[in-house]
Structure 1
Amino acid sequence: MTYPLFATAASGLEAVVAKELKHMGFETQTELGRVRFEGDLPEIVKTNLWLRAADRVKIIIGEFDVYDFDSLFEQVKALPWDQYLPLDAAFPVAGRSVKSKLFSVSDVQRLTKKAIVDKMSNVYHRQTRLPETGGLYPLEISILKNHAIVSLDTSGSSLFKRGYRLEKGDAPLKENMAAALVELTNWHADMPFLDPVCGSGTIPIEAAMIGLNRAPGYQRHFAFEDWLWFDPAILAQAKEEADDVQEVAQKLTILASDIDGSMIDIAKLNAHQAGVLHQIQFKQVAIKDFRTELKHGVLVANPPYGERLSDQTAVRDLYRQMGQAFGQMTTWSQYYLTSDLGFEKAFGKKSTKRRKLYNGALRTDLFQYWANKH
């Protein structure tokens, strides 16, 4: 059976997710916050296992226009719930409503839940309440401009939770955001890679996983594993195929440094958990002391942003040090993510290109400095 699906993505990363899906052979349609595609059960498993920049993979159970609560109830009830939910399914309903007549999210959720219960009670001939003691089937009703999409989340916890992060720093970058930053560069596995403010190591770890062609979801659990209609052999086979395509012999040149030695220890722990510790050269070093003879590499950094005014002077001083240390590395392409629009001035050089991205709810810019062609 082929399902209508979509992968959710942070604002600004939809194109990255679409590119990943196209690389897997899917035809896609990009919308704000999501990329639509179609696939069967093995493809649902494959996308959950392999998507690096997405948040979740969801099955669209139904979509329709809705302008009043009676219509919402009837249209939700008409959906084929018995194809997805067994009698004992636990099915929490999350809700969102934007620029719609039905603006009360709690009422939208309550009525959606009631309509599903009604349908299930009829199908399974139950007069009493449904038990909801079985596997978890996370549902969402999302209404945008009076158009509703009812979906079932196949991923469970967000796909950024790879399963390797044992510890984190103060302002960690989510794993899928880190992977997207690497994918937005021109880096290939045969080029040097550097993160000079690596913190808990997320960016270099994601780069190593990309370089080794390692499936990012290999170590985690997915919601679909608890579903009665899911065959565990599909996941086992997908993992076997992931093992086969891993570039285990690939030698990577990935440098990761930080001024804080305790962060380097945490980064090493996380890299070990991800199985890429030996692919990354970790070092405690201040920006101003950084030196390398390597050429034609890619630098990706998520430096502190100086959100609080009291931190801004120190942060801009760090950007200035970055400009001095890395401004000479003209054969390297360099990418800096920050919410501080004063970055270029402090760095001492105007970027080749800027890209707007959201790090969580925070608007940030990716300042890109492309390498000289010569």
Structure 2
Amino acid sequence: MRRAIRFPEVVEAHRMRIFETFAVHFKQAAKEVARLDGNASLASVYVARSTWDRWMAGDIKGLPRPATCRVLEHLFGEPADQLFGSLEPEVATTAPMAGDDSSSPHLAAMESFRLADRQLGGGHVYRSVVHYLNTVVAPALFGAADRDEDSETAFGAAVVLTEMAAWMAHDAGRDDLASGHFNRARRLSQSLTDVTAGANVMAGMSHLALQTSQVDAAADLARSGLARLAAGPQVPTLKARLHAMEARALAQLNAESEAQRALDCAREALALARTAPPSRWVAPFDEAALASEAASVLLDLGALKAAAKEAEHALALRDASRVRSRAFGQVTLARALLAQGRPDAACSVSMELLNASQSVTSLRLSHQLDALQADFDPYRQVREVRDLLSRMTATAQHRRLLLGSLALPEGPQ
């Protein structure tokens, strides 16, 4: 029997309304409870999506199993009987002012999807983003005026989430879907008065062009994004990202001085980030992200020590929750160390990478790991390298099975 319970409200308050985001936090809470209670079996407690759907719909007959309740109580800090108890009538509150989108469910969904994508990879989250776009955002685009909603917020969310879907599709190896999503996001951005959303899409398209070896197109897209951004409000983080994309393209074109100049422009722009308000339509780009991009630029330019230093700096700034971001940084660091003739140090970094990224579903990461494995092959005579290569082969097989189970459907989405 369905009834109004507190669980959905608590989930919303903790910004876990997306199942994948909740699953990440629940898994971590289960491990913490297992350690606190001295009961290793609690670490394996999980919640299936079907169960989650019933809870969110209020379709419950009683409390979950005791072990599940224990983890939920640790996660949310409330007794299970309150989490699944009846929702008390709300006290009347002042309605939000027109144009106030601070409580917009779209903005909360964007953050939830970003969190899940960073920790699990695009293969896990893509379908959820597309489902949200089709069932929640799309109706809002046509109904915003009728319901007196802020159409700018609805269209902005559509742009950001469509661009996010593009990256997730690329992460899962479907560049055809990614290209379609990016083009759709760019068209949607033309409906906004804020030009930063369109410039942000161009940054993403430039990055995708780099990943697909369309280097000249990557440089042109980055410059077009900078030109568009110049016509609107100053967004230092986006300006830094666009300059970084330009620097990466120029480095791959062997234009060393121009690449260094673009990288300097990125650093100068990011230094101003604290003085400007953040844009809700711009993907996060911080010091760690710039250090990671700089490491790739310097590696392509052959500045190996400087590349390793930037990669180490990026890893120092990224905490363990940013699993995929750290994995890409570790690949760059290992490549820089190998190029310096330091296979032992590269082995250590790579072992840490394999241990931390087992659950990440990213074809992009898998391709980088395959290339890294080939880079290690000339050092096979070193015992540590042989052990690592054996581990990488086994990990690659496991990763192929994992990615195969999450293969995205054919055809437009």
Q: Please confirm whether the aligned pair reaches a TM-score higher than 0.5, indicating the same fold.
A: no
In terms of fraction of residues, the more helix-rich structure is 2
| TM-score under structure 2 length normalisation | 0.28
- Bigger RCO of structures 1 and 2 (CA < 8 A, at least 6 apart): 1
If each structure's strand is expressed as a fraction of its own residues, which one has the higher value? 1
